Amino acid sequence: MVQVQEKQLGVNGIRLHVLEAGEGPLVLLLHGWPELAHSWRHQLAALAEAGYRAVAPDMRGYGKSDAPEASDAYTMLHLVGDVVGLVDHYREDKAVVVGHDWGSFVAWGAATIRPQRFRGVCGMSVPYVPRMPVKPTVMMKAMAGERFVYILYFQEPGRAEAELEADVRTTLRKIYYTASGSLPADHVFNVNLPKTSRFLDPMVDPEKLPAWLPEADLDVYVEAFQRTGFRGGLNYYRNLDRNWELMAAWQGAKVEIPALFVGGARDLVVTGPPGGPGNPLLAAMPAFVPDLRGQVLVPGAGHWNQQENPEATNRALLDFLAGLR
């Protein structure tokens, strides 16, 4: 049986809590919002058994890792600095970086900013997003009109926290279920909510948890977010415009290292709203990621593919890693 160790590491001026398993080439697993290193529990075991050292941190602002008070301590440069710091800690010249959701943004950022430190990159759910010609929130406001956009809702400090922290268990239960492939396929999302809406308004509260999320695993997330709140993760969203400014030197940059994209076949981030054209960034990825070695859609999975269908996710990841060796 694979032994998963918990450690506290001094990295990039902060303390990061990590889960670590196995020995061999280093693979870093970066979670998204609102998750923890625990979201990689299935991958930690599979990678260790396949001969890799798998390391999953609670990202800056999450779980048992440090959560700096200042919102501008969560820029892409800070986050990539944390990832490079982990590579340095394990005394490796290079690692493979794997990210999901916001962790994908950071993984793509690491591959763009410090490509010489990474042998490969895998983004899950979120494809590579090149730097746009205008600030993200300016573009979102222009596209949204009078409609609710959750990223814009997240920009105001305290507003989303008050909603999400009122009942953490219900919040997480709704988010995990609604964004998963367990939601009935005939469920119709209202994508035209008014600006006055709140984030949880369209979310569905299941009568019982899906099989991929046992109560004991939900408990891990609930305990962490009851203790820390949601501010750390929301600060990632609050740095979108700041990241746009900081990343000006990488305008037009491509991801040159070997890359893989994995997403749930029922993930709305991947497919877009039902009946729509899908996510155009997927079709554009080969132009910006010239060594893209695959785009894998995980059957039956929604947004949390590494938890919902770990077997298919692990198979895609291990095949990619084997190609790098």
Catalytic residue selected from 101, 201, 219, 291: 101
Token pair of 198 as six digits: 């709140």
Phi/psi of residue 53, each to 5°?
Answer: -95, 110
Are 11 and 89 a contacting pair, CB within 8 Å?
yes
Active site residue 17: no
Helix ranges (H only) for 25-158 are 41-49, 76-89, 102-113, 136-144, 150-153
| Strand (E) or helix (H) holding 55 | strand 53-57
Q: How far apart are CA 66 and CA 235, in angstroms?
A: 13
From CA 45, how far away is CA 265, in angstroms rounded? 24
**88 an active-site residue?**
no
Query: How far does CA 82 lie from the centroid of its chain?
Result: 15
Tell how strand 5-11 and strand 259-264 pair up: unpaired
161: tokens are 């926290």
Query: Residues 136, 148, 175, 313: is their CA dihedral positive or negative?
Result: negative
CA dihedral 113, 236, 251, 116 (to 10 degrees): 10
**Residue 164: CA count within 13 A, CB half-sphere:** 24
Distance CA(242)–CA(240), nearest Å, equals 5
- Catalytic annotation, residues: 101, 303
